[in-house]
Chain A
Amino acid sequence: MTALLVLILRVALAIALYAFLGRILFTLWQDLKQQGEFLSSQKKPGIHIHAVLENGKDIQQRFVQSEVTIGRDPNCDFPVIDEAVSAHHVRISYHHSQWWLEDLNSTNGTFMGKIQVTVPTVLITSDQFKCGGTTFTILVDMVDEKLLQ
């Protein structure tokens, strides 16, 4: 009888010990879940690209994905028909809460004003850059600050 009571308490003791460990696993998992949800809920602003070709023809398109490639290759997200533009010329990507412009070792280079783009450069609304004979103008969507964190 006494031993039975103690046995029940011993079982409860083991449960308490593993409840401690279980509770830790649970909170760690919750942390993970929260982080995942937070990352997926992070809103990135869309980007609007306006290109003016040498012949005066202009194309424009809005993107919501986080990476846009520009080049002569029709498989690019934003293909342009310009002999001076390389097949994969530049990449525009969103990270660290910014849109970044990155030259992909193009033949003729990419220029912002007079300066050649050699390292990834932050893009903001109304920035212009030039690939070959084509001029691109960027418009970044306005996003609610709260969602951006």
Chain B
Amino acid sequence: MNKITQSRLLQITAVFLFLQSLIITLSPAARARTWDVEYRFLQWIALGVWGLLVARAHYDITRKLPDADPYLFPAAALISGWGLLTIWRLDTNFGVRQTGSFFISMVVLIAGTRLLTIDFLRRYKYILLTCGMFLVTLTLIFGTNPSGSGPRLWLGYRDLYLQPSEPLKFLLVVFLAAYLADKLPSRLRTIHILYPTIILSGIVILLLIIQRDLGTASIFTALYTIIIYLATGRKRILLAAFFLMAFVGVAGYYFVGIVQARVDSWLNPWNDPSGSSYQIIQSLIAIANGGIVGRGPGLGDPGFIPVALSDFIFAAIAEETGLFGTFGLLAIIGLIITRGLRVALRASDLFRRILAAGITAYFGVQTILIVGGNLRLLPLTGVTLPFVSYGGSSLLTSFIALFVLIHISNHLDIDPAPLPKPQPYLALGAFLSLGLFACALTNGWWSVVRGADLLTRSDNQRRMIEEQFVSRGLILDSTNSIINDNHGKIGSFSRNYKYVDLAPVTGYTDPIYGQAGLEATLDDYLRGIKGNPTSTLWWSNLLYGMNPEGLNVRLSIDLYLQNRTDEMLVGKRGAVVLLNAKTGEILVMASHPTFNPNHFDESGTKLITDPNKPLINRATLGQYPAGSIMQPFIDALYGDESVNDNVLINVFKTFGFYQAPQIQLPVAPALSQDDIDTMRVSPLQMALASAALSNHGVIPAPRIAMAVNTPVEGWVSLPELGKPIEAIQAQAGDDAASSYLVENQTYWRHSGQAQEGESSFTWFIGGTPPNFQATPLAIVVLLEENNLRLAQRIGEELLVDAMHP
């Protein structure tokens, strides 16, 4: 009966791992969306080794231990196989090593099935514990770290490493079980019995604290408390341990740097996302990226999580299999715990009972500690997830402990040893189940409730991976000529900036330097998050874990006029804005000097520190003193009155200079009205004010992004962000414009200069006359030099060009 159950479960496990391995093999094809890729085959080695060893172990367990619990071994085999494949998928070198550890673990287990009894553990308890402690002590002198730096918790010989604190966990459980089973039945007072255990465990814990292996130290403390509580049934022990832990925790917080760092990054991870909380935040982002269904084995990017192999393997599994996977994983660990406690309760003597319960507590506590740490439910401690994480010592110890549990379960008596108090065992079961349940709930919280927030964080590196796999929407001008498009194919897409001189306006999107300009403000459309039907988004995310293809966006920019402008501005510092005075559509927006975003990789750092500030869009972000260019506006508002500060403030207010224009571009912040001397105006603000003179006193709402090409409705126009403002009476505007008309020309104009310290600035404004029959236009030219002639030439030529297309 047991044999059939166990073999069925192992068959299902084999199917599960086979499918997982197959998906990893195919994952490159799914990522690249083509069959022509390099498939991943290496992890099949691990599956082959797993299959052979598990089959052999199954054969031996069912033959030598026919009455053993049939659930324990398949459960451990499943999660260790899962861990093995996950490690191979992350790093094949570590995969090979872990496969070796798995081989050794299974050989030990298979050899163990030949043991008739485990009583030798009881007899040699002192020797075993002493050996364990000796090895840990050795690490104080000879300790190394396989990764070269960090706490030196390992003993190394050539390429083999042993972390003695792992087997010591098991040996401590064995010792306590054996010692208590020997002494408890005697009539000594409990406290006399406990003295030696307190001293021995204290030494062990102290050793670990000296080594800064605080995670393992807290596991030892928890295990010691639980085992003593189980054996004696006294609640006082729990209270005492709780207060001791709290005291040590608080003391550690104030006196030990690493404790403080861990606790701080646990309580306030968002304060320092790139420093001390980097690990936990990357873990949460990975978990959020997994969502409910996961990305699929091989299809996520768990490589972004630091130490994903060992400490954060739960987060890696969560990313690739989602809530479905982690709930299953936690359920399987819960199963091991319930079966373990059942073995404990039905064990034939006190030693086996305490031992079984102690082993169960070891699995449970360690799982909750590290899974809780991954989920920010608990402070992070660098312990392993039993059976799953990378680490030979941990895997071997887990399997030895499991074997002991299986061995005890083979000799369950019909009449178990009498149990004076069942409450401690039930309390342990409830405590561990609640812990796992809390982990599952927290996992759901990060994956579902907070998932979207986490994924849009700028430190989510998956966004940049996505850029390489999903083609970004094009940016087009008003006649659908391409401004920005993409290079390369799926997996190697990169942005191609065809009309380079517009770079300060359209901005850039770069894996290192981030995004700027229209590429940033229109990102949701260009990335396909907005504008696509929900079903397309959902399906694309399910299939690829990525958003669908980006949508093309059309600007109001006229590339012909833009090009004319840029030619005239070459070598200058300045800005030009030409817009439709009625609709606010921006036909030209130039900012010089410009830069070439196609070569951002080489020149990025230099551009950022360039004193000429080429990255800044001067048309919207530049703020300049207005000087004499204000005259037409003063005329429009006050006629011939004499100018004073109040008049100027009123003019600035009326023409919107105290407001930041609303447009899909970063703009300079609105200035305060208090100080007239520091008053600054951006070219865009000036252009909008000039438009009021050509548009019967109405300031239009500026627009640059006009429409987006959606798959369902075709071109859909993007709404304007601001509203037109009636600044002055239509007649006053018309009169002001008329008084600046140029003879024999169909435009008005005015130029002016401003001085600030050493720097001088030249402004030119102009526009179509009030009675103009075609499209009304307004223009602003700003030069960061004293050059009235050039400003005038640029402004007039452009106006004429724009009026006669």
Contacts and interface: CB of A to CB of B under 8 A. Distances in A.
A9 B543 contact: no
A16 B9 contact: no
A14 B295 CA distance: 12
Given A3-B30, A14-B324, A27-B5, A20 B23 contact: no
Contact of B35 (A2, A10, A12, A27): A2
A3 B33 contact: yes
A9 B297 CA distance: 10
B324 A6 contact: no
Interface string B291-303: 0011011010000
Interface string B28-55: 0110111100000000000000000000
Count chain B CB atoms within 10 A of each CB in A7, A23, A24 and give the residue with the most: A24
Nearest to B334: A21
Contacts of A9: 19, 22-23, 26
A5 B335 CA distance: 32
Contacts of B74: 20
Nearest to B37: A2
A4 B543 contact: yes
B328 A2 contact: no
Contact of A10 (B32, B293, B335): B293
Given A2-B35, A4-B543, A20-B78, A13 B19 contact: yes
Given A12-B19, A13-B20, A23 B9 contact: yes
A30 B32 CA distance: 47
B12 interface: yes
Given A3-B543, A7-B542, A18-B328, A13 B9 contact: no
A17 B328 CA distance: 7
Contacts of B328: 14, 17-18, 20-21
Contact of B71 (A4, A19, A24): A24
Contact of A13 (B5, B23, B78): B23
B12 A2 contact: no
Interface in B253-305: 293-294, 296-297, 299
B128 to A, nearest CB: 33
B15 to A, nearest CB: 5
A6 to B, nearest CB: 4
A7 B22 CA distance: 12
B10 to A, nearest CB: 10
Contacts of A23: 8-9, 12
A20 B9 contact: yes
B13 A20 contact: yes
B30 A6 contact: yes
Contact of B325 (A5, A12, A14, A24): A14
B537 interface: no
A24 B335 CA distance: 9
Interface in A28-46: none
Interface residues of B, number: 38
B688 to A, nearest CB: 48
A83 B469 CA distance: 99
A101 to B, nearest CB: 24
B16 interface: yes
A5 B34 CA distance: 12
A57 B34 CA distance: 100
Interface string B541-555: 011100000000000
A16 B297 CA distance: 14
Contacts of A2: 26, 29-30, 32-35
A1 B325 CA distance: 24
A16 B324 contact: no
Nearest to B20: A13
Contacts of A3: 30, 33, 543-544
A23 B11 CA distance: 11
Contact of B15 (A5, A16, A21): A16
B30 A20 contact: no
B543 A16 contact: no
B471 interface: no
Interface in A56-90: none
Given A2-B35, A9-B26, A21 B297 contact: no
B3 to A, nearest CB: 12
Nearest to A13: B19
A52 B179 CA distance: 60
A13 B335 CA distance: 20
B332 interface: yes
Contact of B16 (A4, A16, A24): A16
B324 A17 contact: yes
B19 A24 contact: no
Contacts of B13: 20
Contacts of B297: 10, 13
A19 B13 CA distance: 9
Contacts of B19: 9, 12-13, 16
B8 to A, nearest CB: 6
Contact of A6 (B12, B70, B299): B299
Contact of B12 (A7, A14, A16): A16
B762 interface: no
B17 to A, nearest CB: 9
A130 B27 CA distance: 84
What 6 A-B pairs come out closest when comparing CB atoms? A16-B16, A2-B29, A6-B30, A3-B543, A17-B328, A3-B30
Interface of A: 1-7, 9-10, 12-14, 16-21, 23-24, 27
Interface of B: 5, 8-9, 12-13, 15-16, 19-20, 22-23, 26-27, 29-30, 32-35, 70-71, 74, 78, 293-294, 296-297, 299, 321, 324-325, 328, 331-332, 335, 542-544
Given A3-B33, A13-B23, A16-B15, 6 more contacts: A1-B35, A2-B26, A13-B19, A16-B12, A19-B15, A27-B5
10 contacts: A2-B34, A5-B30, A9-B22, A10-B23, A18-B328, A19-B16, A20-B16, A21-B328, A21-B332, A27-B8
